[in-house]
Amino acid sequence: MGDLTELNLAEARDGLAKKEFSASELAQAHVDAVAASAPLNAFVLETADKALAMAADSDARLAAGTARPLEGLPIGVKDLFCTKDIRTTACSNILDEFTPTYESTVTQNLWNDGAVMLGKLNNDEFAMGSSNETSRFGPVVNPWRGADGQNLVPGGSSGGSSAAVAAHLGVAATATDTGGSIRQPAAFTGTVGMKPTYGRCSRWGIVAFASSLDQAGPICRNVRDTAIMLTSMSGFDAKDTTSIDRPVPDYEAALTGDIRGLKVGIPKEYRVDNMPAEIDALWQQGIDWLRAAGAEIVDISLPHTKYALPAYYIIAPAEASSNLARYDGVRYGARKAGVDLEDMYAGTRAAGFGEEVTRRVMIGTYALSAGYYDAYYIKALQVRRLIAEDFAAAYEKCDVLLTPTTPSAAFPIGGKVDDPLDMYLNDVFTVTVNLAGLPGISVPAGLDKDGLPLGLQLIGQAFGEEQLLRVARVMEAAAGFAARPQAWWKDQ
């Protein structure tokens, strides 16, 4: 039977279908792997009993011939997704031991399709961060280590998801992406991460960070698995009026391997200052792979790119400052008693929110204040529209865009926590996609000089997920990325 955690999602699915092993065996192997992964700090809550119970149910269905698309496949869930009767904290102290009475639409979709829940995954507090160092549960450690063996960040905010998938602690994980929180951690861990078009997945039941930017998506170990997960996660939800009512295609079926004649745009503005030469070289490599596969390469311009990061760091904090107002100690979560109401509010929020969340709430409150609103928030919205128009103009000339995912590989834990601006630069290639509401995917494409994974990002047109996945699969095949981290955490 071998180690069942070696199997990727589609392989496990096919193995279950052929009855090579049972869902219970598959679940047990993953439960054991999770239990042995403490040094990674990827899981903040393990739900072994639930996993085994769900797997038993899956075995019954597999035996009865009524298996569903994800029957028996063990996955992890980012702690931003509300899970019924299972503690959900967004990795913030302010939610304390909050246990929802409801299940997020995206996770419900996954359970409806037969997936098995391994537990809740670490993330940056309220998904605010690019290194998974702002979690109340402490930092997640990247399964990939630096040349000198130092601990690296797994990216963020979905660092628990990326680390877990890279370490084979599940065949896939749910994640969310507000400015790059799926794609950047995927790039840092040699995994595939996809943020679909805004409105493709329901936001209902996902703890909100910035409503107009947040979107759920999967992190997996390859493009095919990503397509399978996305098919189950997607769909219209009447409970989220920003979700879009259009049919969900079978994304796996879109992986034809044929991209001949496809036009791939290369945005010149993404050639930023101080970008490591190896990332530039990898980007060129990606261009060559796609050209070799029959695509046509087109130089395009996204002139307002340089304004994207500043605009993002106005819009996202502005929305967050309002979205997080509900954590006030009155109805649920942590409360710090005070001498009066104001004292209770101030004490509760000061104790409940970490430094990065506090910083963003302050920035957002400031940006929306009387006298500053027009200069900051309105200006940022104007920039956002210009960025969307840049993409629209680019897609007159090409079908998808190819860019690096991040300006660097994973960095050491603690390396950037004291420099928020430097930290924010991690999102420079990813935020534009959220601002324009487009789908983006990061595919592992190579290693840097220290042997750390690097990703390339493909950006699609709105609801162009099929085409995007098709190109991603072709690039993945060309890259032939097969490197894996040493399983050092098992020895500790």
Partner 1 sequence: MSETGGTNNLIGGATGDWEIVLGLEVHAQVMSNAKLFSGAATEFGAEPNAQVSLIDAAMPGMLPVINMKCVEQAVRTGLGLKAQINLTSVFDRKNYFYPDLPQGYQISQFKQPIVGEGEIEIDLDDGVVKKVGIERLHLEQDAGKSLHDQHPEQSFVDLNRSGVALMEIVSRPDMRSAAEAQAYVKKLRAILRYLGTCDGNMEQGSLRADVNVSVRRPGDALGTRCEIKNVNSIRFIGQAIEYEARRQIDLIEDGGEVKQETRLFDPKNGKTRAMRSKEEAHDYRYFPDPDLLPLTFSQSFVDDIAAGLPELPDDKKARFISDYGLSAYDAGILVAEAENAAYFEAAAQGRDAKAVANMVVGSLFAGLNKAGLAIADSPVSPSQLGGLVDLLADDTISSRIAKYVFELMFDDGPYQGRDAADIVEEKGLKQVTDTGAIEAAVDEVIAANPDKVEQAKAKPKMAGWFVGQVMQATGGKANPQAVNKLVAAKLGLDEDA
Residues with catalytic annotation?
78, 157, 181
What is the distance between the alpha carbons of residues 367 and 364, in angstroms, rounded to a whole number?
5
Does position 102 interact with partner 1 (CB under 8 A)? The reply is: yes
What is the distance between the alpha carbons of residues 173 and 121, in angstroms, rounded to a whole number?
8
Q: How far is the CB of 86 from partner 1 (least distance, A)?
A: 13
The one among 369, 385, 449, 490 contacting partner 1 by CB under 8 A:
369
Q: Pick between residue 209 and residue 289 the one whose CB is nearest to partner 1.
A: 209
Q: Which stretch binds partner 1 (CB under 8 A): 13-21, 264-272, 319-327, 387-395?
A: 319-327
Q: How far is the CB of 206 from partner 1 (least distance, A)?
A: 5
Judge whether 219 and 209 are in contact, CB under 8 Å: no
Does position 354 interact with partner 1 (CB under 8 A)? The reply is: no
Q: Pick between residue 88 and residue 197 the one whose CB is nearest to partner 1.
A: 88
Q: Pick between residue 206 and residue 462 the one whose CB is nearest to partner 1.
A: 206
Q: How far is the CB of 45 from partner 1 (least distance, A)?
A: 16
Q: Name the helix (H) or strand (E) containing 230.
A: helix 223-233
Does position 341 interact with partner 1 (CB under 8 A)? The reply is: yes
Does position 362 interact with partner 1 (CB under 8 A)? The reply is: no
The one among 53, 275, 287, 368 contacting partner 1 by CB under 8 A:
368
Judge whether 79 and 104 are in contact, CB under 8 Å: no
What is the distance between the alpha carbons of residues 61 and 72, in angstroms, rounded to a whole number?
9
- How many residues bind partner 1 (CB under 8 A)? The answer is 43
Q: How far is the CB of 240 from partner 1 (least distance, A)?
A: 5
Strands 215-220 and 172-177: antiparallel
Q: Pick between residue 68 and residue 84 the one whose CB is nearest to partner 1.
A: 84
Q: How far is the CB of 326 from partner 1 (least distance, A)?
A: 4
Q: Pick between residue 63 and residue 330 the one whose CB is nearest to partner 1.
A: 330
What is the distance between the alpha carbons of residues 426 and 409, in angstroms, rounded to a whole number?
10
Judge whether 404 and 277 are in contact, CB under 8 Å: no
The one among 24, 37, 47, 104 contacting partner 1 by CB under 8 A:
104
Q: Which stretch binds partner 1 (CB under 8 A): 66-74, 237-245, 413-421, 466-474?
A: 237-245
Q: Pick between residue 30 and residue 349 the one whose CB is nearest to partner 1.
A: 349
Tokens (6 digits) for 107 = 């996770």
What is the distance between the alpha carbons of residues 474 and 471, in angstroms, rounded to a whole number?
5
Strands 74-78 and 116-121: parallel
What is the distance between the alpha carbons of residues 260 and 474, in angstroms, rounded to a whole number?
11
168-207 positions binding partner 1, by CB under 8 A: 203-207
CA 416, 422, 426, 427: dihedral to nearest 10 degrees?
130
The one among 96, 278, 328, 450 contacting partner 1 by CB under 8 A:
328
Strands across the sheet containing 400-404: 43-46, 116-121, 74-78, 172-177, 215-220, 192-195, 440-447, 453-459, 400-404, 263-267, 296-300
Q: How far is the CB of 181 from partner 1 (least distance, A)?
A: 16
Q: Which stretch binds partner 1 (CB under 8 A): 30-38, 44-52, 364-372, 433-441?
A: 364-372
Burial class (CB in 10 A: 0-12, 13-18, 19+), 407: middle
376-415 positions binding partner 1, by CB under 8 A: 377
The one among 8, 211, 285, 301 contacting partner 1 by CB under 8 A:
211
The one among 53, 322, 358, 447 contacting partner 1 by CB under 8 A:
322
Q: At what angle do helices 308-323 and 379-394 cross, to 10 degrees?
A: 130
The one among 48, 52, 84, 212 contacting partner 1 by CB under 8 A:
212
80-99 positions binding partner 1, by CB under 8 A: 81-82, 88, 90, 95, 98
Q: Pick between residue 328 and residue 466 the one whose CB is nearest to partner 1.
A: 328
Helices (DSSP H) in 331-441: which residue ranges? 341-352, 355-368, 379-394, 420-424, 431-436
Which string of DSSP letters, residue by residue, matches 130-199? SSS-S-TT-PPPPSS--TT---B---SSSHHHHHHHHTTSSSEEEEEESSSTTHHHHHHHT-EEEE--TT
Sheet strands (E) in 192-346: 192-195, 215-220, 263-267, 296-300
The residues, ordered by sequence, that sit 6+ positions from 109 with a Cβ below 8 Å of its Cβ are 232, 233, 234, 235
Residue 230's closest CA among 272, 281, 278, 177?
Answer: 177
Q: Pick between residue 192 and residue 207 the one whose CB is nearest to partner 1.
A: 207
Does position 339 interact with partner 1 (CB under 8 A)? The reply is: no
The one among 72, 76, 100, 190 contacting partner 1 by CB under 8 A:
100
240-269 positions binding partner 1, by CB under 8 A: 240-242
Q: Pick between residue 28 and residue 242 the one whose CB is nearest to partner 1.
A: 242
Q: How far is the CB of 203 from partner 1 (least distance, A)?
A: 6
Does position 224 interact with partner 1 (CB under 8 A)? The reply is: no
The one among 1, 330, 350, 375 contacting partner 1 by CB under 8 A:
330
What is the distance between the alpha carbons of residues 115 and 345, in angstroms, rounded to a whole number?
40
What is the distance between the alpha carbons of residues 146 and 348, in angstroms, rounded to a whole number?
39
Does position 350 interact with partner 1 (CB under 8 A)? The reply is: no
Q: Which residues bind partner 1 (CB under 8 A)?
A: 81-82, 88, 90, 95, 98, 100-102, 104, 203-208, 210-212, 238-242, 318-319, 321-322, 324-326, 328, 330-332, 341, 345, 365, 368-370, 373, 377
